[in-house]
Chain A
Amino acid sequence: MILEGDTLIPADRHAVWTALNDPEVLRDCIPGCQSLERQSDTDFTSSVRAAIGPVSATFGARITLSEIEPDRGYTISGEGKGGAAGFARGKARVDLADEPGGTRLRYTADVNVGGKLAQVGSRLIQGTAKKLSEEFFGRLGERLGATPGAAPSAPAAPVAAGTAGLSGRRLLWAGAIVILLAVIAWAIGR
């Protein structure tokens, strides 16, 4: 199943980048995110709780990063297991681009789902993914909007956050797959 989407984040590319590198920001913005831990330079684990309708599950996710192009794009692959609810496996390509008014984030994910998730949720994942992504980017936008100098009207303003180290950068990719997994987990209960 292919999931695609894009959003305009009202901040310049570097601000987006930096904010996304902050684990605290990610945990706040990803619906249901309970933890986000780095296991090695390229491997992460996270835990996302989704409780919708009659089904609630905690998705344990493992994430691996590859094809990293700093500030421009990356590929993330991961697998999330939700016990009786099923599982999701996927790969996503994420690209950032400058645009008037902020930064355009585009993602294309190829996700395979299995178990109950596939049996009762296949049809709903696209729509739910869109909705949850909007929720995530909305929260992120709010946060960035509150950051001095990160408003769309002042894209060239200095970035408030600290330096974006390698591990921080990777957290961005981790965050993105977790969003996808959360989105998928969300669809289980539908």
Chain B
Amino acid sequence: MKAIEDFTLVGKTILRREDGYLMRGKAQFLDDLPEPKGLIHLAFVLSPYARADILSIDAGAAKALPGVIDVLTGKDFVDDIKLFAPVIEIGGYRPVRRPVVAVDRVNFVGEYVAVILAESPYVAQDALDLVEVSYDPLPSVAGIDEAAAPGAPVLHDHLGDNLIFKTAFETEGFADRFAEGDVVVEEEFRLGRVTGVMIEPRGCMACPDPIATNMTLWTPTQIPHIVRTAIADHLDIAESALRVVTPAVGGGFGTKAHVYPDELIVVALARRLGRAVKWVQDRREELLTNAHAREHVLKIRVAAKNDGEIRAVHLDVRTNCGAYPNHPYSPTLEATAAVRMMPGPYRIRNYKYDVSSVTTNTAPTGAYRGTGQPSAFLAIEGMMDRVGRRLGLDPADVRRRNTIRPEEFPYVNVVGVRYDTGSYLPSLERGLEMIGYDAFRAAQPEDRLVGGKYRGIGICNYTEVSGTGAPGWRVRGFAKMPGFDSSRVVVEPDGKVTVYVSQADAGQGHYTTFAQLAADRLGVDWADVMVVEGDTSKTPYGTGTFASRGSVVGGGTVIRCSEKVGVKVRRIAGYMLNADPERLVMKEGRVFDPASPDRGLTLREVAETAYSMNNLGLPQGEEHGLEATDYYDPPMVTMANGTHVVQVAVDPEDGKVEIERYVVVHDCGRVINPKIVEGQVHGATVQGIGEALMEEIVYDAEGQHLNANLLDYLLPTAMDVPDLELSHIETPSIDTVGGIKGAAEGGLTGAVPALANAVGDALAGLGVNITRVPLRPSYVFEQIRRARAAQEGRT
């Protein structure tokens, strides 16, 4: 569809209507919902072992505690919940299914072993200490290298080893093209394991309808429809008898875009017992059991010509699946994202990748903001710097040499992804200019030591995948991921508008943005548009809000659907005005012919006719009501882009990395609401700073989780976040409705490589090679100490 050029409200900052109640603490999160009578509270007994046989579970003392209703184990669920697994259809993937509560064997620390049912959450917690589980610990394995090694403990016997996913790709004549390089540069990069830490941890509450057999599940998810389908599949419930509702959601970040065992368990128990059942996660459980992400090893070999042209790239990505595949993505999500996104903004035509994932005795990994892209760009952007150093070229020039130029669009990359439009080179140039790159380089001494600190600059020029449609999910094997989203737009009898969207807001500002889009298309005041989301009983089916889908797919369907309703409004108005509907426009709540603007109707007058609330009839063949439904399946993917340029100072005394300047140039196509886009860029960049400099979930070699608390899992605070210097470039898509591209993840994707490269640049004079994140002070200090010792050894 063509880009729409007549937007009036789109592109304007409207303050978020949700902030009033969010900032005043008025939002109703899961744990704020009124509790139904007879509510049962759950608590889960978690495995303290990474791998063990369960010999016995003695719940006698727990059951004797007043207020405890029952204690159930894995065997109590095998009859009403099928083994839990995603549906993945891609070559090289070997399915693994799991019980929602462990039966006989545990495979990671935090796996559910038993469930306490109690009259109050406090009693449920007390009862946890009284359940005596006897385990026989077994040899376990936590790391990727160890799990892939011969003789490693095998988690799932039917696989024979721990390799759950492996696939490869190679362009024609790859070896020959690779041999054409004048130099070959090789590196191995590693990213620590992280997770999306939300203000609101997860939880869920299932309420059976006292009259019908219906069931309502309240869960702060990003994917209410997919949750409904998964529960219906695994519990044999009719989808029509299950309603999934999201209350206010305190952050999602992809972590809440999974289906979790506890969601199945509360529904199964509510159905079995005929009582409402609720569970709320605590911070330790969040860090132990929510989907983790990253923990990738990327080996990359680049063949380059002497002028910096990249001839060919071979990327080998290995990822850690955790003990079981997550639902609904499996470990193929980050694995295939990393290898498919690596070409990024560069003209890479000869490409080979190998990608694999191993099961280990750790928590399942899954989606988290950036999905695979921080890893892909850590590798390729790291190589841009290394090729530069190797050939004596400025790293910015190596990027310039390889970046796809404006005149090359539309461009189909080496793995078949279409880049319809983009500002890859202008974005890079603007970022360099904003930070004063040339002046910095000119002043930078050989040893990078200025004022007692090592100072360097890092660049990440990236593409950002967004708004994935059905073909984009199928090509990666996600058989049950719809790709489309949908909306229903209703002009009510009073002329006000209700917009129902298949997505689920987790704080992104949908209630403002989607109202803005519908108001723009229907020519009404945006305050007269209400948005309803996150309720499968009210909205048509859809994929949900993750992977930067909100604006592209949700926004796209709201635009289309509003225009569909607009057609009917004009048809009825044309009949009422005895005018050609094609000539009518909708503006400021009125419908009129621009040739005679005084002779118009209010939207309310048209609606009254549509709803039979006056003496006028409808034209022949016209139905009552004033609404439309739309299902929008966007292109395979839509590529946004951007550039981060960061200047850091590394203190050799303590290894601390200080961010001195942080420049972001961001292009998400058509901007709907600039303030909201800035919020997305800021938020994602801060999470990127966390991933690059401090966040890491640490397992010991046996699979013991060593930092399931926020004193030891470090998140960036206001003290760690610099002022971002932000600049927008607006290059609308020519493939998506409204020219919109996604905006939610690039901040993170750009930050991790840019910071790693900046630290690498700062320490390049010392000969330190930065190949991993997080770059915590202890690690950086150790690298500096060793490098200095080696230098002294030489002199």
Chain A residues with a Cβ under 8 A of chain B: 57, 83-87, 112-116, 118-120, 122-123
Contacts and interface: CB of A to CB of B under 8 A. Distances in A.
Nearest first, the 6 A-B pairs at minimum CB distance are A115-B48, A119-B708, A84-B129, A118-B704, A122-B706, A120-B709
B128 interface: yes
B707 interface: yes
Contacts of A114: 48-50, 109, 702, 704
Contacts of B132: 83
Interface string B114-134: 000000000000001101100
B712 interface: yes
Interface string B130-161: 01100000000000000000000000000000
B257 to A, nearest CB: 25
B711 interface: yes
Nearest to B708: A119
B355 interface: no
A120 B708 contact: yes
Given A113-B704, A119-B706, 9 more contacts: A57-B129, A83-B129, A83-B132, A112-B702, A118-B705, A118-B706, A122-B712, A123-B707, A123-B712
Contacts of B707: 119, 122-123
Query: Which residue of B132, B284, B288, B712 has the most chain A CB atoms within 10 A of its CB atom?
Result: B712
B45 interface: yes
A115 B707 CA distance: 11
B700 A119 contact: no
Contacts of B709: 119-120
Contacts of A84: 45, 128-129, 131
Contacts of B48: 86-87, 114-116
A52 to B, nearest CB: 14
Interface of B: 45-46, 48-50, 109, 128-129, 131-132, 284, 287-288, 700, 702, 704-709, 711-712
Contacts of A85: 129
Given A84-B45, A86-B48, A87-B48, A119 B284 contact: yes
A84 B709 CA distance: 17
Contacts of B45: 84
10 contacts: A57-B129, A83-B132, A113-B704, A114-B50, A114-B109, A118-B705, A119-B706, A122-B707, A122-B712, A123-B712
Contacts of B288: 119
A116 B129 CA distance: 12
Contacts of B706: 118-119, 122
Contacts of B109: 114-115, 118-119
B702 A123 contact: no
Contacts of A122: 706-707, 712
A163 to B, nearest CB: 40
A45 B287 CA distance: 34
A39 B708 CA distance: 37
Given A84-B45, A84-B131, A115-B109, A120 B704 contact: no
A83 B45 CA distance: 10
A116 B711 contact: no
A86 B110 CA distance: 11
Contact of B284 (A83, A113, A116): A116
A122 B699 CA distance: 11
Contacts of A86: 48
Query: Which residue of A86, A116, A118, A119 has the most chain B CB atoms within 10 A of its CB atom?
Result: A119
Contact of B705 (A83, A112, A119): A119
Nearest to A87: B48
A119 B708 CA distance: 5
A179 B672 CA distance: 64
A114 to B, nearest CB: 5
Contacts of A112: 700, 702, 704
B107 to A, nearest CB: 14
A83 B135 CA distance: 11
B389 to A, nearest CB: 38
A114 B703 CA distance: 9
A43 to B, nearest CB: 19
A112 B703 CA distance: 11
Contacts of A87: 48
Contacts of B704: 112-115, 118
A120 B284 contact: yes
Contacts of A118: 109, 700, 704-706
A120 B711 CA distance: 9
A89 to B, nearest CB: 9
Nearest to B288: A119
A68 to B, nearest CB: 27
B550 to A, nearest CB: 34
A119 B46 CA distance: 12
Query: Which residue of B132, B288, B705 has the most chain A CB atoms within 10 A of its CB atom?
Result: B705
A109 to B, nearest CB: 16
A2 to B, nearest CB: 13
A97 B445 CA distance: 56
A14 to B, nearest CB: 40
A51 to B, nearest CB: 12
Contacts of A119: 109, 284, 287-288, 705-709
A116 B49 CA distance: 10
B367 to A, nearest CB: 23
